[in-house]
Amino acid sequence: MAADGFFRIALGVEYKGSRYRGWQRQASGVLTVQETLENALSKVADSPVSLHCAGRTDAGVHACGQVVHFDTQVERSMKAWVMGANINLPHDVSVSWAKVMPAHFHARFKAIARRYRYVIYNDQIRPAHLNEEITWNHRPLDVERMAEAAQYLVGVHDFSAFRAGQCQAKSPIKELHHLRVTRHGKMIVLDIRASAFLHHMVRNIAGVLMTIGAGERPVEWIKEVLESRIRRSGGVTAHPFGLYLVQVEYRDEFELPQRYIGPHFLTGFSELDG
């Protein structure tokens, strides 16, 4: 129980962010994932529902491992929360699981790590499929150069050079656990896991790595960008289309349900597991 007479419910959520102005509820008339999901859950609860999420995604960014929670006095089965929400949601948002949580659980503050994947379609010809779910780069990209450069960012660093100007994080110092760059046919996947992320951090890293992969800068340039701690030294911010929040990790005590690490069209590539 979250408080006297209240249940704390956690949900697993996935969504295609293309037509939303990000996760966070905004002014009236602005379409967001949070408001869309809250409206659906409020119909199931027959009362207002207010959500807290593990990580606020930007406009156009997707999720297949978002975790949220809410408090309610309404008793429903976990199946009712999942199926009831999905009946009332549009085609591009889906609830995958629900679980009653202890009062001290918090989707954001109890998370110990977050993982993103950035998917690049690397070909001269613009793809007709998944065009809002991957980032197209027409220049031939050298994955080995990108993978080598990525290792300069692993560890604890000041990531100010990869931080958006409007970032509200208290500190730019983050621990990056891994940054893997792999090719799968025409697709290149950046798989990045960290304790937490700064605003636009993954997209700015992707922009630098694609510049290096295209041969426009040497591998060591990423180290210069990192050490400069100046955002403008790192070039352009990559498009949001290929970015997915794929996993949020919590301590074992919470026993949250585990699903595949997405997006779904990558689940056949076993080398991405782990």
| Other CB atoms within 10 Å distance of the CB of residue 43 | 15
Q: Which residue's entry shows tokens 């929400």?
A: 85
Beta pairing, strands 93-101 & 113-122: unpaired
Q: Which amino acid is at 70?
A: F
Q: Give the C-alpha separation, 76 to 59, whole Å.
A: 32
Is position 273 annotated as part of the catalytic site?
A: no
Preceding peptide of 263 cis, ω within 30°? yes
Q: Give the C-alpha separation, 183 to 48, whole Å.
A: 45
Catalytic residue among 4, 46, 58, 191: 58
Preceding peptide of 102 cis, ω within 30°? no
Q: Give the C-alpha separation, 59 to 18, whole Å.
A: 7
Q: Give the C-alpha separation, 60 to 31, whole Å.
A: 11
Q: Are 30 and 253 in contact (CB under 8 A)?
A: no
Burial 244-253 (b: 16+ CB within 10 A, else e): bbbbbbbeee
Q: Give the C-alpha separation, 30 to 207, whole Å.
A: 28
Beta pairing, strands 135-137 & 52-53: unpaired
Q: Are 203 and 22 in contact (CB under 8 A)?
A: no
Residue 121 assigned ligand-binding role: no
Give binding residues for substrate as ranges: 116
Active site residues: 58
